[in-house]
Amino acid sequence: MVEVTLWGSLGAIAGGKSKVEIEAKDIRELFRKLAEQYPGFEPYIDRGIAVAIDGTIYRDTWSKELPKGAEIFLLPRLAGG
Amino acid sequence: MNFDPRYSGRNFASVGTRPIRPDGVDKVTGRARYGADFNMAGQLVGRVLRSPHAHATIRKIDTSKAEKLNGVKAVITAADLPDLTDGDAALYDILDNCMARKKALYDGHAVAAVAAVDARTARQALQLIEVDYEVLPHVTDVDEAMKHSAPVLNDTIFTEGLEQKPVKPSNVTKRSQYGHGDIHEGFGRADYVVERSFKTEQTHQGYIEPHACVASVSSDGTADLWVCTQGHFVYRQHCAQLLGMEASKLRVTSSEIGGGFGGKTHVWAEPVALALSRKAGRPVKLVMTRDEVFRASGPTSATSIDVRIGARKDGTITAAEATLRYSCGPYAGMWAELGAMTAFACYNLANVRTVGYEVLVNRPKTAAYRAPSAPMAAFAVESAVDELAKEIGMDPVEFRIRNAAQEGTRSSYGPVYGPIGIGPTLEAAKNHPHMKAPLGENQGRGMACGFWFNFGGQTCTDLNIGMDGSVSLAVGTVDVGGSRASLSLVAAEELGIAYEQVKAVVADTSSLGYNDMTDGSRGTFSSSMATISAARNAIKVLRERAAQMWDIPVDDVVWENGHAIAKGEKYGNLAALSLKEIAAGSGKTGGPIAGHSELVADGAGVSFATHICDIEVDPETGATKVLRYTVVQDAGKAVHPTYVEGQYQGGAAQGIGWALNEEYVYGKDGRLQNPGFLDYRIPVCSDLPMIDTQILEIPNPNHPYGVRGVGETSIVPPLAAIANAVSNAAGVRMTHIPMSPPRILAAIEAERGGRWSK
């Protein structure tokens, strides 16, 4: 079980929660279970969500494992120049 | 990903040296081919008709007269680019921006295009196209656009992110919020509070090369596109989807690029050129004029920002908040959100809140500009930080060091930081001789910090070893700042050969797997990772071939300094085999030798910089002169230090232009008044001092060599550093960018008037 912190817009979809607990071993499973529990997340996942694991931001490595006790933070997918 | 990206702490032979770039001679002799330098047999000239109105309904477009003009081969409107975006709202906005559908949303919005045998005929044809507009009220100012009385650009947009769903459409597409703690409690504990409002005007990336392409669609449905872009694979995806083509049937080749800085990260004219070519049955070259580049491509946001920061007497910040309003042009974006995320990222704050508002205006579609949105937020925050330090009576560098984020700090955008470099850049700035240099009359010094995320992305690389032992490196990230040299150094490092043995090229979209574009400071970070991986795969093959040549098990062959070596005393008489020797025999040991890599480069690591600037202000005219400028930034590992320094200097130079001169000026009619380099003045060499740089190397733990991206962070601090310097020189706080001479003079005179009236 990992604790996942949501940014504002996602929190609103999760019924006002800023944190949710999910049983997931990697980013792929995290997104799948988030979409199952909160269908409103799906368009955001399609648009792109970045996952910060202990401060390091992952945008596309869905195989990245979620270590036990790690800080998991969801962020919007960033644009760059 | 079968590749371990962790930092290994190795020593380097090639990486960190400064050889001549492989594209250098061609660029200084004029032989290098940019977007407009490519030509095809039978090529037509494409030209675009643009709206003269800031906001207008398109009632009807009559192209019949233009079509009848001798020499005109195709005329297109939005009807020739039907909506194939399948619900992808961002791509629909790109489509609508390429060719207006129901409404023209800004001065310069494309409404039709022609392909003709020459430029004169094409221009004549544009004059024959009749567009029936119903002119609508417009709004170009970000604050005005938020008012209830403002004309609404898109009545299907209801503000996202509000607690209660709005019942009326609005120009505010989204509200976003970041932060933690209790700012009310924090401000309650503050001994000093600074509260200011700031504005920044819209600027263009100012790339010297305009958007340019040649499109050729064959009657069999295949197509070629030669184009100036930051990401030819992304352009292929966009164009293929917008034209209903299979991506594999569209080959996109990237030209050399005369600057992009974020402005060439999505398509503008390319789908138009392809649609014209498809209709005409001939190749079409489409090159934007400078006027078109300014009116219809990639400016950054104009902003309006309120900042409040409170601190105790001992210099500890107790609370910080900012409200950021960013213009997006006529389409939704996440520009204010990026400002809200980055505004306070340099600091360790117990109580912080930022709120961003994305605002639609009748201006061109906002595009990324080098660390998009961060420079404006840093301008507001770092100006207030400087002012607060002064009120407390602390040195501004010491004040920042006291409050700087460090490993374990919860960032203002949410996650807790790992190892970061803001502290070291501040310490380096504090100890830099620049900080101690004397200043003369009317001169001021300013400094400021900046933050950017950096990221990686999908990356694919091929490394082929020729039979003569030379190495071809094919990469898919467009070289915007010397990455072919850097990646050649990386290949040489891994293989243990000379830099001169490696030739790097940017491969077209049919020759290599998909690559994300060169943005997010990712070019060298990502493609070096893929190059290391490809080289290691090639070394595996080289060891196998050497084992064959020696007739020994491959496990007994190691690779050292560019040679296969048989390890163990039993092979004592075997002379090492060089890469060249193994390559020469490759035809008899299994054929060509190559290494391939496809990976997602993630874990780019956040980046920080601190800049110092000295400015002289003429109090009679408001004119400024930048006397000295120093950039301190963490590179992780500088693969080719000269090009890292070039990125630092380039960001600072663009920031100087943004801070002091550059500005989109709109008339009351909503039309852009200064779409050219005469009236929109970017800095030239004589405006700039030598920009000194100091590279810090704090290894990124998520890259084998410790590399971080360096391309964007350098534009984040200049607006604030220069504003602080001008404010110190002029004796008045500057709150509006650009600080052009009239604006500085007005501020000085207002201050004098204020003093006299007291």
Sequence ranges of the domains in chain B: 24-32+456-601, 139-418
| Among candidate residues B110, B96, B108, B97, the one with its CA nearest the CA of residue B61 | B110
Alpha carbon B41 to chain centroid, angstroms: 34
User: How far apart are the CA of A30 and the nearest CA of chain B, in angstroms?
Assistant: 17
Record: contact B161-A8, CB cut-off 8 A: yes
Q: Which of B160, B522, B602 has the CB atom closest to A9's CB atom? A: B160
pLDDT in tens, B705-732: 999 999 999 999 999 999 999 999 999 9
What tokens appear for B411 in the block?
């960032």
Record: contact B418-A54, CB cut-off 8 A: yes
pLDDT confidence of residue B298 = 87
Q: Which of A55, A59, A63 has the CB atom closest to B416's CB atom? A: A55
Record: contact B265-A81, CB cut-off 8 A: yes
Which of B177, B412, B453 should we substitute to test contact with A (largest number of A Cβ atoms within 10 Å)? B453
Count of Cβ atoms closer than 10 Å to residue B116 Cβ: 27
pLDDT over 90 percentage in chain B: 97
Q: Which CATH architecture does the domain made up of B139-418 adopt?
A: 2-Layer Sandwich (3.30)
DSSP three-state, residue B245: coil
Bin B431: left if φ > 0, else alpha if -120 < ψ < 50, else beta.
alpha
b/e code A49-77 from CB counts within 10 Å (16+ = b): bbbbbebbbbbbbbebebeeeebbbbbbe
pLDDT in tens, B173-199: 999 999 999 999 999 999 999 999 999
Q: Which of A8, A56, A64 has the CB atom closest to B418's CB atom? A: A56
Distances (CA, A) of B483 to A35, B87, B335, B503, B536: 39, 36, 28, 12, 20
What tokens appear for B40 in the block?
């095809």
- If you measure CA to CA, which chain B residue comes closest to A73? B415
At residue B485, φ and ψ (nearest 5 deg) are: -70, -45
| Residue numbers in A near B417 (CB within 8 A) | 55
Please give the Cα distance from B95 to B311 (Å, whole number).
Answer: 48
What tokens appear for B168 in the block?
């009326």
pLDDT in tens, B564-589: 999 988 998 899 999 999 999 999 99
DSSP three-state, residue B257: coil
What tokens appear for B252 in the block?
């996109």
DSSP three-state, residue B359: strand
Q: Which of B90, B418, B520 has the CB atom closest to A55's CB atom? A: B418
Q: How confident is the model at residue B2 (pLDDT cuts 50, 70, 90)?
A: confident
pLDDT at B757 over 60: no
DSSP three-state, residue B637: coil
Q: Tell me the torsion sign for CA atoms B520, B521, B522, B523.
A: positive
Please give the Cα distance from B738 to B391 (Å, whole number).
Answer: 25
Residues of chain A with pLDDT under 50: none
Record: contact A57-B520, CB cut-off 8 A: no
∠ at Cα B685 (B680, B691), nearest 5°? 115
Query: Is the distance from CB of B30 to CB of B256 less than 8 angstroms?
Result: no
Q: How confident is the model at residue B755 (pLDDT cuts 50, 70, 90)?
A: low
| Residue numbers in A near B265 (CB within 8 A) | 80-81
Q: Which of A55, A78, A80 has the CB atom closest to B415's CB atom? A: A55
Residue B512 per-residue DSSP state: S
Alpha carbon B506 to chain centroid, angstroms: 19
| Residue numbers in A near B712 (CB within 8 A) | 80-81
pTM metric for this prediction: 0.96
pLDDT in tens, B313-361: 999 999 999 999 999 999 999 999 999 999 999 999 999 999 999 999 9
| Residue numbers in B near A51 (CB within 8 A) | none
Tell me the β-bridge partners of A77: none
∠ at Cα B469 (B466, B472), nearest 5°? 50
Record: contact B455-A59, CB cut-off 8 A: yes
Record: contact A63-B1, CB cut-off 8 A: yes
Please give the Cα distance from B276 to B271 (Å, whole number).
Answer: 8
pLDDT confidence of residue B1 = 55
pLDDT at B593 over 50: yes
Q: Which CATH architecture does the domain made up of A2-76 adopt?
A: Roll (3.10)
pLDDT confidence of residue A78 = 87
| Residue numbers in A near B90 (CB within 8 A) | 47
Record: contact B600-A61, CB cut-off 8 A: yes
Is B453 an 8 Å CB contact of chain A?
Answer: yes
At residue B645, φ and ψ (nearest 5 deg) are: -60, -40
pLDDT in tens, A51-74: 999 998 999 899 999 998 999 999
Record: contact B455-A79, CB cut-off 8 A: no
Beta strands in B602-730 (DSSP E): 607-617, 624-634, 691-696
pLDDT confidence of residue B282 = 98
Helix locations, B628-740, DSSP H: 641-660, 718-730
Contacts of residue B650, defined as CB under 8 A and 6 or more positions apart, other chains included, come to B481, B714
- If you measure CA to CA, which chain A residue comes closest to B452? A80
| Residue numbers in B near A75 (CB within 8 A) | 341, 413-415
Q: Which of A54, A56, A75 has the CB atom closest to B414's CB atom? A: A75
pLDDT at B493 over 50: yes
* Domain boundary assignment for chain A: 2-76
pLDDT confidence of residue A9 = 74
Task: Based on DSSP, count helices (H) and strands (E) in chain A, helices before strands.
Answer: 3, 5
Residue B686 per-residue DSSP state: G
Q: How confident is the model at residue B758 (pLDDT cuts 50, 70, 90)?
A: very low
Q: Which of B334, B417, B604 has the CB atom closest to A79's CB atom? A: B334
Please give the Cα distance from B207 to B204 (Å, whole number).
Answer: 8
Q: Which of A61, A71, A78 has the CB atom closest to B520's CB atom? A: A78
Beta strands in B122-191 (DSSP E): 130-135, 172-180
Please give the Cα distance from B339 to B452 (Å, whole number).
Answer: 10
Query: Is the distance from CB of B515 to CB of B35 less than 8 angstroms?
Result: no
Task: Based on DSSP, count helices (H) and strands (E) in chain B, helices before strands.
Answer: 20, 27
DSSP three-state, residue B663: coil
Mean predicted confidence (pLDDT) in B634-652: 97
Tell me the β-bridge partners of B463: B473, B595
Please give the Cα distance from B501 to B14 (Å, whole number).
Answer: 12
Q: How confident is the model at residue B756 (pLDDT cuts 50, 70, 90)?
A: low
Tell me the β-bridge partners of B347: B404
- If you measure CA to CA, which chain A residue comes closest to B164? A12
Is B457 an 8 Å CB contact of chain A?
Answer: yes
N-terminal to C-terminal alpha carbon distance within chain B: 69
Please give the Cα distance from A34 to A14 (Å, whole number).
Answer: 9
Please give the Cα distance from B147 to B273 (Å, whole number).
Answer: 39
Burial class (CB in 10 A: 0-12, 13-18, 19+), B617: buried
pLDDT confidence of residue B453 = 93
Please give the Cα distance from B379 to B384 (Å, whole number).
Answer: 9
pLDDT in tens, B303-316: 999 999 999 999 99
Tell me the β-bridge partners of A52: A57, A73
Is B372 an 8 Å CB contact of chain A?
Answer: yes
pLDDT at B384 over 50: yes
Please give the Cα distance from B382 to B448 (Å, whole number).
Answer: 6
Is B414 an 8 Å CB contact of chain A?
Answer: yes
Please give the Cα distance from B290 to B677 (Å, whole number).
Answer: 8
Record: contact B520-A80, CB cut-off 8 A: yes
Query: Is the distance from CB of B454 to CB of B604 less than 8 angstroms?
Result: yes
| Residue numbers in A near B261 (CB within 8 A) | 81
Which of B175, B300, B455, B524 should we substitute to test contact with A (largest number of A Cβ atoms within 10 Å)? B455
Measured CB to CB, residues of chain A less than 8 Å from chain B are 5, 7-9, 12, 47, 50, 52, 54-61, 63-64, 71, 73, 75-76, 78-81
Is B524 an 8 Å CB contact of chain A?
Answer: no
Please give the Cα distance from B384 to B321 (Å, whole number).
Answer: 11
Residues 90-109 of B with CB under 8 A from A: 90
Q: What is the CATH number of domain B24-32+456-601?
A: 3.30.365.10
Mean predicted confidence (pLDDT) in B290-299: 96
Is B162 an 8 Å CB contact of chain A?
Answer: no
Q: Which of B1, B176, B372 has the CB atom closest to A61's CB atom? A: B1
Please tell me the number of Cα atoms within 13 Å of B410 on its side-chain side. Answer: 14
Please give the Cα distance from B718 to B729 (Å, whole number).
Answer: 16
Q: How confident is the model at residue B256 (pLDDT cuts 50, 70, 90)?
A: very high
Query: Is the distance from CB of B665 to CB of B397 less than 8 angstroms?
Result: no
pLDDT in tens, B438-467: 999 999 999 999 999 999 999 999 999 999
pLDDT in tens, B522-570: 999 999 999 999 999 999 999 999 999 999 999 999 999 999 999 988 9
pLDDT in tens, B107-150: 999 999 999 999 999 999 999 999 999 999 999 999 999 999 99
pLDDT confidence of residue B572 = 84
Please give the mean pLDDT across all residues of chain B.
Answer: 97
Query: Is the distance from CB of B520 to CB of A78 less than 8 angstroms?
Result: yes
What tokens appear for B56 in the block?
């207008």
Beta strands in B186-295 (DSSP E): 192-200, 212-217, 223-227, 250-254, 284-287
Is B522 an 8 Å CB contact of chain A?
Answer: yes
Query: Is the distance from CB of B347 to CB of B410 less than 8 angstroms?
Result: no
Please give the Cα distance from B478 to B672 (Å, whole number).
Answer: 31
